[in-house]
Amino acid sequence: MLKKNTRKISPMAKAAVSHYIEASEQLNKESAQEEVVACRTRAQALLLTQAFPTLRDEAWQYTKLVQFVQNRFEVAHLTPQQHGLTIREVQSFLPPYQAIKLIFVDGVLDKALSDDCTALPKGLSIEFTREAVQSSSEVEVWLEQEDLVNSEPFGVLNNALLAEGFGLKVAENMAIETPVFVLNIQTKLNQISVLSNRVMVGKNAELTLVEHFVTLLNEAEQEGVEACTNVVTVMDIAESARVRQVVLQQQSDLGYYFHNQFIFQSEQSDFNSFYGGLGSQLSRHQNHLFMNGERIENSQNSACLAHQKQLVDSRTNTQHTQEWGASRQLHKFVLADSAVGVFDGMIGVARAAQKTDGQMDNKNLLLSNTAKMNSKPQLEIYADDVKCSHGCATGQINQDQIFYLQARGISKPKATEMITKAFLMESVETIDRKDIQQWVAQEFSEALLSGAYFKTDTATE
Amino acid sequence: MLLTIENLQAEIDEKQILKGLNLDIKPGEIHAIMGPNGAGKSTLASVLAGKDAYEVTAGSVMFDGQDLLELGPEERARKGLFLAFQYPVEIPGVSNKLFMQTAVNAVREEQGLLALDMFDFDEYAKDKIELLEMRPDLLERSVNVGFSGGEKKRNDIFQMALLQPKLCILDETDSGLDIDALRLVANGINALRSESRSFIVVTHYQRLLDYIKPDFVHVLYDGKIIKSGGFELVHELEEHGYDEIIQQSK
Ligand SMILES: Nc1ncnc2c1ncn2[C@@H]1O[C@H](COP(=O)(O)OP(=O)(O)OP(=O)(O)O)[C@@H](O)[C@H]1O
Ligand SMILES: [Mg+2]
C-alpha cells in the first residue's frame, strides 16, 4: 500500500481518475444501499492513489493504456438515454440457437429487448445488479469479493461504478439446458459500459452462459465507435456443478474491453470456458481461477484474431489448491499487420495439490513481419507429485501449405484464410456444444472472409 | 503443342539449377523424365507449377497457347496444369473434402461452370474414390495429416482425377508405394489418359513405366536434358546406369 501511495500519477491520468470518481460520486447520490455506497467509496480511494497502470507495471508492459487514459468515457448507466433500438436492429447479434436472452445497450439492461425473466426454466433465477444495489437482500453477493475484485485496476473501476449487470443463480441439482445469452451492444461514442456480474451455480447443477460484446455501427461511424466495456464476473461453482462459458468479443476496432473473471470451483466441479477475441483496439480478458476442492476439472481456451494496430491480451491465473485437479488450456492467436498479442498464463500448484495435472499451450500465427506476440506461460509448483506442462510456439504461416493449395487452383487469400481458420478452429472446437461451437466458428469465418486480414496484392506471385 | 519449354534457366537462392532446358509436349503424349538425384527434376516441376522461391532467369514456357511464366500458381492450376508432389504437404485442420471441393470449384469457375455444393461434390467424387479405392475416412480427415506415405501419393492422384487437368506432372509419385498401391495409381493414370491430356512422369524406376508405357523418355542431368528416346531408353538405364550417358554428353 505504502508503495502505491508514492506512485507518480501523470496529470492526464489524474484528470481521468477524477472524471470517474465524479461519476462514482454521482451514482452514490442515486438511491443505493449503504454497503454499496461504501464499496464504491473505497474503490474511489483506491483509484485516487493507484490511478491506472502504466508501462512500469509488469502486468501491463505490453498493454498500453496511454490512449485509454486520454479518454473521459461517460458512464452510460448514469444517464440512461433512449436508444430506440428495435429487436430487428439487434437481430444480427443474436445467436441462431435457442437461448434465454439478456440484452444490454451501452451497459444498461433493456428489459423490452430481453426475454421475459419471469418465465425462466425451473431452477434458474436472474436478478439484475441495478435492483440488487438499490434494495435487494441479495446485494451481499455483489460485495462478497470486493477486495479480490479491487486487486485488479479495472476491478477497482468496476466497483467504483457498480450499478449494472446481472446475477444468475442455478439451484442445486438443476441442469439448465437452454443457454443464457447475454449481449452488450455499444451504440454511442465515448461511453463506458460497466457490468458487474455474479453467477452462482449450486451443487450438481449445470449452466451454459454465452456472452457477446458487440458494437452497432451507424452509417456515420463506419470507422468504429470509440467506446469502452468494463466487466467483472464473479462465479461460484459448487460441488459437482458444471459450467460452460463462451465469451465472444467483437466490438468495433476502436473499442476498449476489459474483462476480469474471478471463478471459484468446489470439489468435482467442471468449468469449460472459451474466449474469442476479435474486436477492439485494446482488449484484455482475464481469468482468475481458484480450484478450491479435490478432483476439479476445467479448461480455459481462447482464440484471438487481430489486425492493423489492435492489441489483444488474454490471460489466465489458475490456482490448484487441492489434490487431483486437472486444468487444460489452449490459447491461439492470429496476428496480422501490426497487431500485438499478449498471453500471460500462470499455473500455481499449492503444496497440498498433489496429483495435479495442468497443461497450458499457447500457439500463435503471425501473418505479417510487423505483428508481434508476447507470451509468458509460467508454472509455480510447490507440490512434488504433479504433472504440469506449458508450451509456447509462434510461427509464420507455412508457405509450402499455401503453395500446395494454390497448386490446386485456390487463390492465395483463400488459401491463407483456410489455413488460418483451421489454426483457430483447434481452440474453437473445445466448445463442447455443437450449436454454440458452430456459431462461434461462423463468426470467425465471416471475420476472416471479410478479407481484412490478408493482403490481396500478393495473390499472384 | 500443349507445352513448349525453350532454354529454361532457373535458380534458387542464387544457385543455378536449370541450365537451358528444352522440351516439347503434344496433347496426349506421355513423357518420362529420369535422372540422378539432384539433377533438377523436382525443380523443373516446381518451376512449371509456379513456386515463387525459384527465379526463372532465362527462357520461355508456353502452355496451351499462353505464356505460363506470366501466371500465378493458382491460375496455372485453373488452366489445367497439375503437379503431383514428391512430398505432399500436411495441412492440419483443413478437411480433405473441403479442400478438394474448394479446388474443384475454383477450376469450375474458371471454366464458367456453376459451383458444386456438398451433395453435388459427393456425387462427382464417387467414381474417383472407387477408382483409387480411397478409404472414405481419408476424405473426412485433415489433408494428408497422419496419412501413410503411400496414402499421400494416392491422395494426390485422387486430386488429379477430380481436377481433370490438361497436363499432369507426376514427381516420383511411384516412390514409396507398395505393389498394390502402385497398380492403383497406374490404373488411375491410365484411366485419365486421353487424346488431349498429357503427362510428365518423373521417376527413378521402371516399374511404373511398365504400366503406363511412356511415348518418350528423357534423361535430365545437371539442369539439362542430355538424352531423349523411346521406352527402350528405360531398359538401357536400368542396365548401365547414368554414367555412360553422362560421359557421352560431355
Ligand atoms: N534452397 C536451395 N538452395 C540451394 N540449392 C538448392 C535449394 N533447393 C534445392 N537445391 C538444389 O537443387 C538441386 C536440384 O534439386 P531437385 O530437388 O530439383 O533434384 P531432383 O532431380 O528432384 O532430385 P531427386 O531425384 O533426389 O528428387 C539439388 O542439388 C538441390 O540440392
Ligand atoms: Mg525430386
**Domain assignment of residue B121, given as a range:** 3-249
Of B72, B91, B98, the CB nearest to A460: B72
Q: Verify that A287 and A402 share a domain, yes or no.
A: no
pLDDT, one tens digit per residue, over A18-72 is 999 999 999 999 888 999 999 999 999 999 999 999 988 999 999 999 999 999 9
d(C-alpha B193, C-alpha A272), whole Å: 54
CATH number for B80: 3.40.50.300
Domain boundary among A271, A292, A313: A292
d(C-alpha A195, C-alpha A30), whole Å: 17
Asked if residues A336 and A370 have their Cβ atoms less than 8 Å apart, the reply is no
d(C-alpha A290, C-alpha B91), whole Å: 37
Nearest to A367 by CA among A446, A451, A252: A451
Is any Cβ of chain B less than 8 angstroms from the Cβ of A414? Answer: yes
Is any Cβ of chain A less than 8 angstroms from the Cβ of B74? Answer: yes
- Rounded to the nearest angstrom, the distance between the alpha carbon of B175 and the centre of ligand 2 is 10
Q: Do B77 and A426 touch (CB under 8 A)?
A: no
Of A403, A404, A409, the CB nearest to B106: A409
Q: Whose CA is nearest to atom 8 of ligand 1?
A: B12
Residues of chain A with C-beta less than 8 angstroms from the C-beta of B89: 398, 400-401, 403-404
pLDDT, one tens digit per residue, over A143-176 is 999 999 999 999 999 999 999 999 999 999 999 9
Residues of chain A with C-beta less than 8 angstroms from the C-beta of B159: 408
- The ipTM value here is 0.95
Res A85: pLDDT? 86
Of B53, B75, B103, the CB nearest to A408: B103
Per-residue pLDDT of chain B (250 residues; tens, 9 = 90+): 999 999 999 999 999 999 999 999 999 999 999 999 999 999 999 999 999 999 999 999 999 999 999 999 999 999 999 999 999 999 999 999 999 999 999 999 999 999 999 999 999 999 999 988 888 888 999 999 999 888 999 999 999 999 999 999 999 999 889 998 899 889 989 999 999 999 999 999 999 999 999 999 999 999 999 999 999 999 999 888 899 889 988 8
Residues with CB under 6 A from ligand 1: B 12-13, 15, 17, 35, 37-43, 86
Q: Verify that A276 and A408 share a domain, yes or no.
A: no
Domain assignment present for A166: yes
Q: Whose CA is nearest to atom 13 of ligand 1?
A: B38
Q: Do B106 and A426 touch (CB under 8 A)?
A: no
d(C-alpha B246, C-alpha A143), whole Å: 87
Q: Verify that A260 and A403 share a domain, yes or no.
A: no
For Cα atoms B71, B74, B78, give the angle at the middle one, nearest 5 degrees.
90
Domain assignment present for A117: yes
Domain assignment present for A263: yes
Res A461: pLDDT? 30
Res A275: pLDDT? 98
> How many domains in chain A?
2
- What distance in Å separates residue B198's CA from the closest CA in chain A? 17
DSSP readout, A74-131?
A: EEGGGS-------HHHHGGGS-SS--EEEEEETTEE-TTTS--TTSPPTTEEEEEHHH
Closest ligand 1 atom to B53 CA: 1
Q: Do B89 and A400 touch (CB under 8 A)?
A: yes
Asked whether residue A80 carries a pLDDT value surpassing 80, the answer given is: no
- Rounded to the nearest angstrom, the distance between the alpha carbon of A418 and the centre of ligand 2 is 28
Structure-block grid coordinates of residue A289? 481461477
Asked if residues A150 and A42 have their Cβ atoms less than 8 Å apart, the reply is yes
pTM of the model as a whole? 0.88
The stretches of B24-171 forming alpha helices (DSSP H) are 41-49, 73-78, 96-110, 118-131, 136-140, 149-163
- What distance in Å separates residue B238's CA from the closest CA in chain A? 33
**Domain assignment of residue A141, given as a range:** 11-292
d(C-alpha A248, C-alpha A306), whole Å: 14
- What distance in Å separates residue B224's CA from the closest CA in chain A? 24
- What distance in Å separates residue A220's CA from the closest CA in chain B? 37
> How many domains in chain B?
1
